[in-house]
């Protein structure tokens, strides 16, 4: 796995002016802090930079073994994904909240006739719970984020690309889907077959670290 030109430029800027805050880096590169979030997270995860609270980023240079970096690009979602937590679109918000906490997860994916139609996070549940709405009557379909506005991946996607999506979009997990072949010319429909979460990615890093 090769670093991008922007990642290389970030390293150069940090080397020359460390410590450097994310705000300063964004200004020098002419982009927003949000645009740099994934790059900075990757550079710190692989040991090139170190993020120091209230100080900024400094150059460390302890780049991980190249085999580990290559593995992140070669390992596919299907080998590390876990079982997704799903409910039906008609499930009440109350029942969905109970389901979420019983399974100790951050996001529930919503299906309708085995088709992925949406996702609901803890933040979504919190908003409706404090809003005075009767959560025993409202279905999750009312509060969920609907397709196609959900970030998703496929079984052949690399662990690296999915980790980057999680960081870039600041989400808890990504549904892994497969496209349902249909004769109609309607919009694409997907079946959820797994999920990749921050936990999946963390476990992978630990496993790769222990094997090298």
pLDDT for res 175: 97
pLDDT at 118: 96
User: According to the model, what pLDDT value does residue 187 have?
Assistant: 77
The pLDDT tens digits along the chain (212 residues) read 567 888 899 999 999 999 999 999 999 999 888 878 878 887 887 778 888 988 999 998 766 555 566 667 788 999 999 999 999 999 999 999 999 999 989 899 999 999 999 999 999 999 998 888 899 999 999 999 999 999 999 999 998 889 888 888 888 899 999 998 765 566 789 999 999 998 888 788 777 766 65
* 3-state SS track over the chain: CCCCHHHHHHHHHHHHHCCECHHHHHHHHCCCHHHHHHHHHHHHHCCCEEEECCCEEEECCCCCCHHHHHHHHHCEHHHHCECCCEEECCCEHHHHHHHHHHCCCCEEEEEECCEEEEEEEHHHHHHHHCCCCCCCCCEHHHHCEECCCCCCEECCCEHHHHHHHHHHHCCCEEEEEEECCCCCCCCCCEEEEEEEEHHHHHHHHHHHHHCC
- The predicted pLDDT at position 117 comes to 96
- What is the pLDDT at residue 10? 93
Q: Kindly list the structural domains of the chain, giving each domain's residue range(s) and its CATH number in brackets, ordered by start.
A: 5-63 (1.10.10.10), 77-210 (3.10.580.10)
Return the pLDDT at 48.
86
């Amino acid at each position: 796995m090769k670093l991008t030109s922007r990642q290389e430029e970030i390293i150069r800027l940090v080397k020359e002016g460390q410590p450097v805050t994310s705000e300063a880096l964004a200004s020098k590169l002419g982009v927003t802090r949000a645009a740099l979030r994934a790059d900075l997270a990757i550079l710190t995860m692989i040991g090139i930079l170190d993020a120091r609270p209230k100080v900024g980023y400094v150059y460390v240079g302890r780049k991980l073994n190249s085999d580990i970096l290559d593995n992140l690009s070669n390992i596919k979602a299907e080998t590390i994904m876990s079982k997704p937590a799903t409910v039906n679109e008609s499930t009440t918000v109350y029942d969905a909240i109970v389901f979420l906490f019983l399974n100790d997860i951050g996001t529930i994916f919503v299906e309708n006739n085995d088709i992925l139609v949406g996702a609901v996070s803890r933040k979504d549940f919190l908003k409706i719970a404090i809003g005075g709405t009767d959560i025993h009557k409202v279905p999750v379909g009312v509060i969920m984020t609907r397709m196609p506005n959900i970030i998703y991946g496929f079984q052949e996607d690399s662990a690296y690309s999915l980790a980057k999506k999680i960081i870039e979009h600041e989400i808890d997990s990504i549904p892994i889907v497969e496209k349902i072949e249909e004769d109609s010319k309607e919009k694409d429909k997907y079946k959820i077959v797994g999920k990749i979460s921050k936990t999946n990615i963390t476990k992978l890093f630990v496993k790769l670290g222990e094997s090298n």
